[in-house]
């Protein structure tokens, strides 16, 4: 049976009630790209079947924008995964209440191993775990927490029943520097769970390189800056992931 193409997840990063894109995850690098609902609807109209919605206010330690995120989820008819600052029970409750199909636990949440294991076991089909990595080590953006080798976390998360990881090389996130294929191969080689690539995609060739990892277990690719800057369109990205050419 042939494998399905990777899912393309256009990013909607929310900061100060605006959709933005960041360079290497730094708040001071934010460029406003529009209203969150408008951006989400634009990606849906272009053919995306998934969106990656990020509450950057929460990720940077603020109160977050749960009502705005819920409004974005209600405004579209596609799957949405919500991410950003979800590191405790209260944050998880707010994220689940948005109606998102999937909630991505922050890397900082891994500091509470018992809680993470319980959450993954309770919500196996709605929980993914973010693995933000620098030089093979987990780094929690917005909290300063350092979590040691990512491979150790994957081992105990797999044992808890984790079914999806969102993997980011933080030095490439938003920098249009290309995805870290070696990191993604390493994670895919360690787990049978789905792996979503995040960060660095700048060209259609990057998407084609990611698509080649589908047999290893890669299931999706989050793209933000490349779409916002017009490097390629959603339609072209989908075509690249499916091995066809966009027309019209």
**Would you call 205 exposed, middle or buried from its count of C-beta atoms within 10 A (0-12, 13-18, 19+)?**
exposed
Establish how many alpha carbons lie within 13 A of residue 44's alpha carbon, considering only the half-sphere containing its beta carbon: 16
Q: Of 13, 55, 169, 173, which is the active-site residue?
A: 13
Neighbours of 148 (CB within 10 A): 11
Q: Among this protein's residues, is 13 annotated catalytic?
A: yes
| CA–CA–CA angle 81, 84, 86 (5° rounding) | 95
Q: Of 55, 57, 132, 169, which is the active-site residue?
A: 132
Looking at residue 101, what DSSP letter applies? Answer: S
d(CA 104, CA 129): 5
Q: Among this protein's residues, is 169 annotated catalytic?
A: no
Find the DSSP H helices in the chain.
36-45, 56-59, 66-75, 89-97, 113-122, 150-160, 181-190, 204-211, 225-228, 234-242
The residues assigned a catalytic role are: 13, 132
């Amino acid at each position: 049976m042939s494998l399905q193409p990777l899912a393309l997840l256009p990013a909607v990063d929310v900061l100060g009630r605006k959709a933005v894109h960041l360079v290497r995850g730094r708040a001071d690098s934010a460029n406003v790209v529009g209203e969150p609902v408008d951006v989400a609807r634009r990606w849906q109209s272009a053919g995306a079947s998934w969106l990656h919605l990020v509450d950057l206010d929460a990720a940077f330690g603020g109160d977050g924008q749960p009502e705005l995120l819920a409004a974005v989820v209600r405004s579209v008819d596609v799957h949405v995964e919500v991410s950003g600052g979800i590191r405790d029970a209260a944050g998880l409750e707010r994220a689940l209440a948005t109606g998102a199909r999937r909630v991505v636990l922050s890397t900082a949440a891994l500091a509470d191993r018992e809680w993470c294991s319980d959450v993954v076991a309770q919500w196996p089909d709605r929980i993914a775990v973010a693995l933000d990595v620098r030089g093979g080590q987990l780094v929690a953006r917005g909290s300063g927490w350092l979590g040691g080798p990512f491979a150790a976390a994957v081992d105990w998360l797999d044992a808890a029943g984790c079914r999806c990881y969102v993997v980011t090389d933080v030095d490439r996130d938003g920098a249009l520097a290309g995805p870290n294929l070696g990191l993604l191969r390493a994670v895919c080689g360690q787990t049978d769970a789905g792996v979503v690539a995040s960060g660095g995609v700048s060209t259609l060739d990057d998407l084609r390189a990611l698509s080649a990892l589908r047999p290893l277990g890669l299931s999706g690719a989050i793209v933000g800056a490349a779409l916002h800057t017009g490097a390629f369109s959603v339609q072209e990205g989908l075509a690249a992931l499916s091995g066809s050419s966009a027309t019209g």
